[in-house]
Amino acid sequence: MRTAAFAGLMACALMTAPAFAADNEGASLKLKAPTTITKFIHEGSVWNCEGDSCAASKVQSLPVARACRKLVGQLGEVTAFSYRGVSLDDAAIAQCNTAAKPKA
């Protein structure tokens, strides 16, 4: 009986783990000004944008501050940034916007 219950719990855990992992593999951002870009590839991830919002369903594992700086350098300043389940607060967003180097 215990073995059957354990097997059932393991099956449930395995079924929900991919959904949980997928939530923590994506990213989104809100730009300070709307963009005309609708789709781009950044660090191997496909990003889709509409107006001032951009999102990718799966992104490379990078430190969130580095990812923010790279994207701000490419797209412009952000007002919100979430990467692999971590959202930056206002102070970190301000630091990201200041430290980003525009793409040459």
First to last CA, the chain: 65
- Using a pLDDT cut of 70, give the percent of the chain over it: 76
* DSSP alpha helix (H) spans, 24-77: 64-75
Q: What does the pLDDT look like over 23-63, one tens digit per residue?
A: 589 999 999 999 999 999 999 999 999 999 999 999 999 99
Q: Of the candidates 20, 65, 70, which has an alpha carbon nearest to the alpha carbon of residue 45?
A: 70
Domain boundaries, the chain: 24-99
- Beta-strand pair 78-83/27-31: antiparallel
Give the model's pLDDT for residue 84. Answer: 96
Any idea of the CA torsion for 91, 92, 94, 95, to the nearest 10 degrees?
120
Q: Between vectors from CA 31 to CA 76 and to CA 65, what angle results, nearest 5°?
A: 70
CA distance 9 to 90: 40
